[in-house]
Structures are given as structure tokens and as C-alpha cells.
Amino acid sequence: MSINRLLCVLFWSVLILSGGNAFAQKTKSQLEKEKRENLSKIAEAEKILSDTESEKKATIGQLRALNQQISAREGLINSLNQEIGLLDGEIGDLNIIVSALQNDLKKLKEEYAAMIYSSYKANHGFSQLTFLFSANTFNQLFMRLKYLEQYSDARTLQAQQIEEVSKELDGQRNEVQIKRAEQQTLLDQQLAEARKLNKLKSKQSGLVQELTKKEKELKKELAERKQALDRLDKLIAEIVRKEIERSKTLSSKALADEEELSTTFEHMKNKLSWPVESGFVSSKFGKQPHPVLKGITVDNRGVEIQTGKDAQVKSVHQGKVITVAFAPGMNNVVMVQHGEYFTLYARLKEVHVKKGSIVGKDDLIGTVYTDNSGVTEVHFEVWKNFAKLDPEKWLSPK
């Protein structure tokens, strides 16, 4: 085998591995990030579920925390499946390279053996000195000497090539073993997560059955919640109306300041910090099916974020506190103005700001209220004048 052919094999080996790994590494990095995020969501949901279960009775809050755990574990299993698939591809590529190197090593050894045999036949009964000094001219003598040197170099090079390919082959075989061990670890993790997921789904089914028996109680809670949201809507609409009227009397400078604040807020779409440090969206914006009652739709004007007991509520963006009030069914309410945008924080146990206060991003507003069933949930809304917006489209992805 020529040196050019060996270099070609090694080049393609390196290209497949480095190129493949560069692509796989990026994807693996993304999958590792997804796994970390899902594990964090699982830990959050477990803690929140533990808080709600301390009341020893089935609640919608428990079911939502359980659903969040199930969703996060399904995401984790999906990431593991994709990573296992990536390793399958990497192992396949490595096996192709191992096979190619095995074939090349076999050919190198065959060529080297043929070279040694030819050398033996040429030297048997005919010494190199005889070969040199039987030359008819000095130029022929020099050419024969050069030939012998090249032949010797070729044998040495062939031996080096065999050694290099052998080392490369050992390295690739070792890499295959490492990848297979890594794959087995992921398969074990996947199996363990699948068992946990089945247990959670069994628990979910039992909880739904238990809650279904409380249909009258759930419908009563739903009606009370709707009344509370309706009252809150009227309160917000009246405040917004007054603020719009007030803006008509502003000086050109004050109006320009509010317009700048509106623009700044608008640029934060999908980037706003969350009002609580940890937690998950337990009830989404708009019309959503009730998690237990069949055929019943819940219309949410904002989002509910289920979190830990005594969680601190922070401002998602700089602005001015225009309302601090108590709304029946929603507890303490704080509304912050950001130009023509408004954010609302309800179900607060304590409030740490006053009407007229200027707040910055992440400034403390209050603490979340925990209801009698042990559920700690903040109600969060985003408005643009009279239009209600989906808060999840404004908060940074979790």
C-alpha cells in the first residue's frame, strides 16, 4: 500500500470522526441542555406537589403539578431517545472506519510480506555487493546504490505504516467500546425514567378519579373564579380608561417619555423575566379545557403560575405602580404601567409597593398567597390599553 493511500484512509477517518462529532456534539449539547431544563422542571414540580399534598386532599393544584411532572419526564425521555439515536449513528460511523482500517492493515501486511520475500529471493546466492560491483559504469553503480537505498526506505516506511494503522485501529476500537458504554448508560436512564413516568401516570389517573367525584365542588369553584375574574376585568378596564384619559393631558415631554417606555416594553416581547423565581404555568391564557370536568371550558384572561409557598413576586419590567387594591377571590392586586402596556399581579398575600411607586426590573412587589388547599399560585396578566395579551408570549422561555 502506498503512503498516499494510507494518508487518504487516515484523512477520511479523521474527517468522518471530527466532522461527525462536530455536528453530533452541537446536537448533544442541545440535548444535554434540554435534559437539564427538564430535570429542573421535575424538581420544581415535585416540590410544589409536595406542598399541595401536605393538605391530604385531592386538588386541581395537585393535578396540575402532577401534569407538569409528567410533561417534563416525557421531555426527558424524548431527549434520551434522541441522544441514543445519535450514538447509534456515531457507532455505525466508527464501525465503518474500523472495517476499512482492518482491510488496509491486512493489505499492508500482505504487501510487506511480499516485499520481504522478494528481497530474500533477490539476495539468495547473490549479494548486494556483487550486484553493485557488477555495474558496467560508475553511473550504473550509482543508480544501483540509489535503488537499494530506496528499496530499504520503502521497507522501513511500510513497517511504519503498519504500526500507524495498527495504533489507529486500536484507538477506533476503543472509541467504539466507550460509545457503547455511554449508550448503555443512557438506555438504563431511559428505562428508569419510563418506570417513574408509569408511576406518575397511575397516580394521575387515581387523582382524576378522586376529583371527578367532587364535580359539584369543582363547578362551584369555577363559578366563583369566573366572578372574581369578571370583577378584576372591570377594575382593570376602569383603571386603563382613566390612564388613557390622563395621557391626553400630558405635556409633550411626559408623553414622549411614556412612548419611549412603551417602545422599550414592546422590544421585550419573549424576553421579560418571570414574576416568580421558580414555578410553571398551571393555567394558560385564553380558552382551555378544564383538567377534570368534561365538556367544560375555562376562559383565562392571563396565566396562573404555580410556585412555592411564600414565593416572592417581582416586577417583570420597569414601570409605575398605578394600582394597589384588594379584589374578592383574587386577594391583593398590583398593577404596573409601562407606557401603553400594563402588567397585573394578583393573588398576593402581602404587597411591598405603594400606588405611585416607580419599580425597576425584578423589584419586589409582594409575596404569593397560598389557599386553603395548599396551592400557591400567582395570577399574571399583560394588557396593551384595553387588549388582553398572552403573557407566555412575553415571558422569556423556560
pLDDT at 136: 63
pLDDT at 223: 87
Dihedral, 76, 79, 81, 85 alpha carbons, nearest 10? -160
Q: Return the amino acid letter for 268.
A: M
Please list, in sequence order, all residues whose beta carbon lies within 8 angstroms of the beta carbon of residue 324, skipping any fewer than 6 positions away: 332, 333, 334, 351, 353, 354, 355
pLDDT at 197: 84
Q: Supply 288's cell numbers.
A: 382551555
Distance of CA 368 to the CA centre of its chain: 28
DSSP 23-36: HHHHHHHHHHHHHH
Please list, in sequence order, all residues whose beta carbon lies within 8 angstroms of the beta carbon of residue 44, skipping any fewer than 6 positions away: 68, 278, 279, 280
> Exposed/middle/buried for 238, CB within 10 Å: 0-12, 13-18, 19+?
exposed
Nearest to 324 by CA among 356, 363, 302: 356
Beta strands 341-351 and 364-368 are antiparallel
Q: Supply 10's cell numbers.
A: 487516515
Q: What share of the chain is helix, strand, coil (3-state, %, to 5)?
A: 60, 15, 20
Beta strands 331-338 and 319-327 are antiparallel
For the chain, where are the E strands, in sequence order?
280-283, 286-289, 297-300, 303-306, 312-314, 319-327, 331-338, 341-351, 358-359, 364-368, 377-384, 387-389
pLDDT at 139: 65
Nearest to 316 by CA among 378, 254, 239, 371: 378
Instruction: Report CA-CA distances (Å) from 335 to 115, 217, 228, 380.
Output: 89, 31, 16, 10
* Residue ranges of the chain with per-residue pLDDT less than 50: 1-25, 125-126, 132
The structure's pTM equals 0.67
8 Å CB contact between 319 and 261: yes
pLDDT at 39: 77
